[in-house]
Amino acid sequence: MLSGNQEKKLEAIFESIIHEYNSEMEGRNEMIAIKTLELLLECERFFVEKSTKEQPGNNNDIIENFNKLMQQHFLEERSVQFYANALHMHPNRLNFLIKKHTGISAKETIIDHILLEAKFLLHSSSLTIKEIGYKLGFDDPNYFSSFFCKRMSMPPAAYRNKLV
């Protein structure tokens, strides 16, 4: 179930997608892709927000704080140890709680977030693949391409070209 504000937010995104679909403006496919990604990101936020509220006890706070920390530090910090230390707990305990809540480990959650940001930047920016890699904290653009290709079964350039 969505709150009134959540419903309005999603409705506005859908209306924007429909407007772009019906327009003859240049770049409409890119705009539709960006708006679709925005829609997916908002839905993920709503899901995480609702899911964390439904967890009993202190686990809510831990999961919520992990997500906040990850949003703030994922560009420079990718180790579960960093987040566990920040939350004053053992990495195994953090992994257990995150996996219990989401079905995937804390490390996989961090990787998924980086991948989601990469997709967003490939959709919504004119940055080169190399610049996106650097922006996401990869020291070597080849490692970023390898990271992306391993998870998406295609290189970032092919993914971007597929959107056009």
| pLDDT at residue 164 tops 80 | no
Residue 163: the pLDDT is 78
94 vs 63: CA distance, rounded Å? 8
Residue 60: the pLDDT is 74
105 vs 92: CA distance, rounded Å? 10
Residue 6: the pLDDT is 86
137 vs 76: CA distance, rounded Å? 6
Residue 58's pLDDT band (cuts 50, 70, 90): low
From the list 65, 72, 153, the residue with the least C-alpha distance to 117 is 72
| pLDDT at residue 56 tops 70 | no
**What are φ and ψ of residue 83, in 5° steps?**
-70, -40
| pLDDT at residue 19 tops 70 | yes
pTM over 0.85, yes/no? no
| pLDDT at residue 138 tops 90 | yes
Mean pLDDT to the nearest integer, 132-138: 95
Residue 53's pLDDT band (cuts 50, 70, 90): low
**What percentage of the chain reaches a pLDDT higher than 90?**
66
Mean pLDDT to the nearest integer, 72-80: 93
Radius of gyration of the chain (CA): 18
92 vs 76: CA distance, rounded Å? 21
Mean pLDDT of the chain: 89
Mean pLDDT to the nearest integer, 152-164: 90
